[in-house]
Amino acid sequence: MRRAILALLVAAGLGIPVAVGPCIEQILKAGNSHFADADNAATVMRGKSIYRGHCASCHGRNLQGQPLWQLKDEYAGRRAPAHDVSGHTWQHPDEDLLHIVKYGRFAETPVDEVSFMPAFREVLDDRDIVAVTAFIKSRWPTALRVFQAMLNPGYAGMPRRAQEAEWRFPSINCNAARRRQAAAGISPDVKVGGGEESR
């Protein structure tokens, strides 16, 4: 499904005539039920409470992750990554984030690869996981929220105030994110809005 969405967005971005409206509408009906709305204050507060109870012990009370989580060594994968700006959570669409929390791995992770992320499917329901994701997203600056929304079907999650602040897409040091950014036609130098950066 994600490939179909990306193909439609790329085709539309290149000016290739496609019937995007009906296709996106069908895709959204089928697969966008897990969109995490970081602009919904009630959802964010609920997610904050769940995060503090189930996630903060590993990922940090302030989303900072465990010390040295970026290192590639024999402990790689055992340290919980950050969910703040320094992490890579914002480089994944909402469906991928739900999947890793629910099953302890991304959908594309090989089955034989060890994952140290616990699966929360028996502890948290989808609504809980979506609320946690909304809380995490609410702590990102506008540029990261815009970038991440562009990975979701129909750009779900685009911040309501994106046009009111001046911001730039972040420079990215992750090849997978660069490929997604290029496929979506996003330039790191894109600047929109006219105000100051806001959270």
pTM of structure: 0.70
Tokens 């409470």 identify what position?
49
Per-residue pLDDT of the chain (199 residues; tens, 9 = 90+): 445 444 544 444 444 443 434 333 433 443 456 799 999 999 999 999 999 999 999 999 999 999 998 888 887 778 999 999 999 999 999 999 999 999 999 999 888 888 899 999 999 999 999 999 999 999 999 889 999 999 999 999 999 888 877 777 666 555 555 565 566 666 555 444 444 443 3
Distance from C-alpha of 7 to C-alpha of 34, rounded to nearest angstrom: 21
- pLDDT of the residue at 71: 87
Domains and CATH numbers, the chain: 1-31 (no CATH), 35-192 (1.10.760.10)
149 in Cβ contact with 32 (< 8 Å): no
